[in-house]
Structure 1
Amino acid sequence: MRKLALSLCLATSLNVAASQESHNIIMVVADGMGPAFTTGYRYFNDDKSTEQVEQTIFDKYQIGSASTYPAPVSGYVTDSAAGATALSTGIKSYNGAIAVDVNKQPIETVLERAKSYGMKTGAVVTSQVNHATPASYIVHNEHRRNYNDIADSYFIDRIEGQFKFDVLLGGGWLYFIRDERNLVEEFKQENVQYIDKYQQLSSLKKGKSAIGLFAEKGLPWALDDKNPHRLSALTNTATKLLDNSHGYFLLIEASQVDWAGHANDIASAMAEMDDLAKTMELLEGYVANNPNTTVILTADHSTGGLTLAAKGKYVWQPDILKLQKHSAEAITKQLITNEISPSLTNQLFNFELTKQEVNDLIIAKLKSEEQIAIYNALSSEQKKSAKKPRPNRIVGKAVTHIIDTRTNTGWTSGGHTAIDVPVIALGKHAEMFAGHQDNTDIAKKVFKLLEQYRQH
């Protein structure tokens, strides 16, 4: 496995010899979080009883920005796999790459380097644990969609006989408990603790590796979960389990900021950002009590082309977002399976819809039913070349349109954009990550920290 050349000039050089002092590095990736998301959260979180717009945890510690473009073969717009590979290895690769270079050769990651130095390692995510970002720190694969292979690699690929992670928390039953292979049982046979409910987090014992899988794929949206601050709860557990005299490396991913951007669901986006904010506030307190810790927060890319004001109106009104109790996806499912009425919509949106808004939802549902009927009437041969209608998408767009119109939120895309992303840092070596940098520079600086605190 190729070692990275760490002789590049860094914006801030440590210029110190290896130390016997332990150090913790916490890398937080807010998938899809462009600058409009942190700005939007500021206004969403604003206390209207005061004249000033209050600073958020993101504002307090923003220290720079990062470019996100992938290897030239993929142009200027990155996907999560290439973005995470840049952040984990310091090398740009093609879209879809999981810690491999453009020639599909494995590249050492910061998590692997930390493990090889005797540090504890872990990952906490709100997606499935074998999704693009966590996978790009832990294993190697030529394509992010090889979910079963990636899950298998978590068991097979080891460093000096040890699993590469000590703590792994997120979703993913579907890939770890399969008909042809039950990875959970295999892990348990090697003395790895396993839980599948949040309430069991306190049962995990320090000193033993632990896996927690709390959903079939990704965790429920923050708006739909029993614990809207599930990322902070998982993070709190991980820091306790990983704490040791040799230091640790922990990856945290606020995965569903990206999913909200793809869905153009501003209510879910702000709820996911709120969970991230609570996680960063938790880490702020952790750093105060553990000053030998550096926390870096950035994004792999921005998603959705979020605009805080649309259609030429100089207005953005996020207050209605605080009323939301369900994600757009959850609202859509209820509208599809139940008769649409003012009482139902008022209950689901938690505010009174106009007659026109209710009618728009009914029309969207009828349109989706009509398209399904047309598709079902096709012959088997015709269906092969036809695209099956997706009622969730048709009705879902009507749902998000109502929220977007009420808040005057705009979106330019259902995909990723190529803009730079924020870099936020706190703790012992936060200043290393100041200024504008490339995403690969972040990994190179983390490698530098690992070298400084190498203990064996």
Structure 2
Amino acid sequence: MQYSLTLLAAGLVAQTGLTWAAPQAKNFIYIVPDGYGQASQTMARDYVSLQKTGSNASAPIIQELAGDRLVLGTVRTHASDNLVTDSAASGTAFSCGHKTYNDAISVTPDGQPVGSILEAAKLDGFKTALVVTSTINHATPAVYSAHVANRDSYEAIAAQQIGYSHPFGPVVDILLGGGRCYFKPQSDPTSCRSDDLDLFSFAQKKGYHVMQDRAAFDAYLGDYTTNASLPYIGLFNDDQMMYEIDRSKAPEKEPSLLEMSKAALGTLDQATRASKKGYFIMIEASRIDHAGHANDAAAHVHDTVMYNEVLGFVQEWINAHPDTMLMSAADHECGGLTTNAFDPAPLVNVQHSFEYLKTVWEAYNGTDARGYFTSTVLPAAGLSDVTDAQIDKLLGASSPWAEMKKMIATKAGVNWSTGGHTATDVTLHGYAAGKKWREFKGDMAGNHDNTELPRYIEKVLKLDMDATTAKLRAVNGSWVAGPDAARKRRDVHSH
């Protein structure tokens, strides 16, 4: 027994889950609901159901969300150096099939690059895409398209993603998300770079159509299918894209994750329809995780609902395009969310994220701060019924936002055990059409290590990730960005 445990700890026991037959498909869609756990799905399901059915927590009528129809199994998430992973280590496992340390972007613990499923697809003639609501050079999209020792190397990641410093050149045909400031030279007052690299200009020279706002997205991708050609890049915020709870109140500012996903899939389908080679796309519902870090229940719910809307659309897409398969799993759970004495009704009254409300409050320069806080901020936070004494306490607190989040969470019976990640297993979702769906379920039912998922996609698409790794390692020079390339994060929701 001790001998077996020692072998397991050393990683020397064969992973029997890697012996799938695996159905074949032309295209593969992988979706990451960053920071999403089983309690996230329960909270979103109940939130939507009680509104749709007009029922309440005392006599609930619960309806399934799209994700409930697509459950295959569960996934283990530990990193090589910690039982609790971050998005970089787990993302490297999801994209490359290798365990690594927290903060590593598609390199092994000894610093060697490993090829991603996206890179392998690109080298084999597939079209590729990354669609996220984080900055495009955040950990999860980065692991598919860059290789650095530390996830904080945002400038180096952006340069690799667009092909400026990647040994294969541009490997991503579609990039949609946030992080605009990392593609502008330091001479631009909104730049985050410390050098003169103008990556948007470089992208245009490489044939990319560049979009930097919602109007440009609508002009180029408004009908999703007919007017756009690859490659293109659309970055719609200098930082993370907006929480869905905020974006939905101002849709003219940014496209939603669903809109970006529809656009990307429509143009990928058009670009590959006459080809034997299809496409690989990674879609990330990034801000579920950020809301978990912030312990912001309403923001977490809205982004989880959006993830389910994307899943529902993709299921319909696959029914209409049966040569396509879907797999989806979170990189980790975030927040240690539990729902005790749960009633989502108070969350319905929350109109904005606390991140947004804090920004609005800090920008107020009027003469009646208390009146503005009472008449504008508190109702938008779902707290219009607080007493004068509670208002006094909030205005006198070192962090009124932390106290307000606790108040709304208490009302809804939502509990957070941490502002970080947890080691809990995550749900594996998937879908395929017809016979493929039965084969897929037979292959992937049960519990899997996160390194197994890209190896399954590799079989489905007939790719060779190890050959891609060998090509990366054959490149001369120290092109893998080391820890010295890391800069201070622009945002606070990085893990």
- The verdict on a shared fold, with TM-score over 0.5 as the criterion, is yes
What per-residue deviation string (whole Å, max 9, x for no partner) do you get for residues 379-421 of structure 1?
xxxxxxxxxxxxxxx1220221121111021110000000000
Matches within 5 A, 1:165-314: 165-179=172-186, 180-202=196-218, 203-204=220-221, 205-225=227-247, 226-227=250-251, 230-243=256-269, 244=272, 245=275, 246-309=277-340
Structure 1 position 397 matched with structure 2 position 402:
yes
What per-residue deviation string (whole Å, max 9, x for no partner) do you get for residues 318-359 of structure 1?
122223221111222334454133323454235622205xx4
Q: CA deviation at 1:80?
A: 0.6
- Name the structure 2 match of 1:439: 450
- Name the structure 1 match of 2:82: 75
Q: What letter corresponds to residue 329 of structure 1 in structure 2?
A: E
Structure 2: stretches of 5+ with no match in the other structure: 1-13, 187-195, 222-226, 466-495
- Name the structure 1 match of 2:426: 421
Whole-angstrom distance in 2 between the partners of 1:290 and 1:361: 55
Structure 1 position 56 matched with structure 2 position 56:
no
Whole-angstrom distance in 2 between the partners of 1:289 and 1:11: 29
Q: What letter corresponds to residue 214 of structure 1 in structure 2?
A: F
- Name the structure 2 match of 1:43: 46
Q: What letter corresponds to residue 259 of structure 2 in structure 1?
A: A
- Name the structure 2 match of 1:372: none
Q: What letter corresponds to residue 333 of structure 2 in structure 1?
A: S
- Name the structure 1 match of 2:485: none
Structure 2 residue aligned with 1:65, among 64, 71, 74?
A: 74
Structure 1 position 316 matched with structure 2 position 342:
yes
Structure 1 position 327 matched with structure 2 position 332:
no
Relative to 1, partners in 2 of residues 1:220 and 1:362: Cα closer, same or farther, differing over 3 Å? farther
Percent of counterpart pairs with the same letter? 30
- Name the structure 1 match of 2:484: none
Whole-angstrom distance in 1 between the partners of 2:363 and 2:261: 36
Q: What letter corresponds to residue 281 of structure 1 in structure 2?
A: G
Structure 2 residue aligned with 1:156, among 153, 156, 164?
A: 164
Q: CA deviation at 1:362?
A: 3.9
Matches within 5 A, 1:331-410: 331-338=357-364, 339-341=369-371, 342-350=374-382, 352-355=384-387, 359-368=389-398, 394-410=399-415
Whole-angstrom distance in 2 between the partners of 1:117 and 1:259: 35
Q: What letter corresponds to residue 393 of structure 2 in structure 1?
A: I
Give the TM-score of the pair, scaled to structure 1.
0.85
Contact 2:164 2:202 survives alignment (8 Å): no
What per-residue deviation string (whole Å, max 9, x for no partner) do you get for residues 144-181 of structure 1?
00000111112224576x51001000001111113122
Matches within 5 A, 1:127-166: 127-154=134-161, 155-158=163-166, 162-166=169-173
- Name the structure 2 match of 1:4: none
What per-residue deviation string (whole Å, max 9, x for no partner) do you get for residues 43-95 of structure 1?
11114436531111111111100010010xx2200011001001011110000
Q: What letter corresponds to residue 338 of structure 2 in structure 1?
A: T
- Name the structure 2 match of 1:23: 26
Count of residues in correspondence between the two structures: 409
Whole-angstrom distance in 1 between the partners of 2:171 and 2:456: 21
Q: CA deviation at 1:196?
A: 1.5
Whole-angstrom distance in 2 between the partners of 1:78 and 1:264: 19
Whole-angstrom distance in 2 between the partners of 1:361 and 1:128: 35
Whole-angstrom distance in 1 between the partners of 2:393 and 2:450: 45
Relative to 1, partners in 2 of residues 1:307 and 1:15: Cα closer, same or farther, differing over 3 Å? closer
Contact 1:361 1:395 survives alignment (8 Å): no
Whole-angstrom distance in 1 between the partners of 2:22 and 2:133: 37
Q: CA deviation at 1:219?
A: 0.3
Q: What letter corresponds to residue 438 of structure 1 in structure 2?
A: D
Q: What letter corresponds to residue 314 of structure 2 in structure 1?
A: L
Contact 1:222 1:229 survives alignment (8 Å): no
Relative to 1, partners in 2 of residues 1:285 and 1:15: Cα closer, same or farther, differing over 3 Å? closer
Whole-angstrom distance in 2 between the partners of 1:9 and 1:198: 47
Q: CA deviation at 1:433?
A: 2.5
- Name the structure 2 match of 1:385: none
SS at 1:291 equivalent:
coil
Structure 1: stretches of 5+ with no match in the other structure: 1-6, 310-314, 369-393
Relative to 1, partners in 2 of residues 1:417 and 1:182: Cα closer, same or farther, differing over 3 Å? same
Whole-angstrom distance in 2 between the partners of 1:15 and 1:44: 36
Contact 2:106 2:113 survives alignment (8 Å): yes
Q: CA deviation at 1:11?
A: 6.3
Whole-angstrom distance in 2 between the partners of 1:345 and 1:367: 15
Q: What letter corresponds to residue 343 of structure 1 in structure 2?
A: S
Relative to 1, partners in 2 of residues 1:174 and 1:229: Cα closer, same or farther, differing over 3 Å? closer
Relative to 1, partners in 2 of residues 1:43 and 1:65: Cα closer, same or farther, differing over 3 Å? same
Contact 1:70 1:92 survives alignment (8 Å): yes
Give the TM-score of the pair, scaled to structure 2.
0.78
Q: CA deviation at 1:258?
A: 0.4
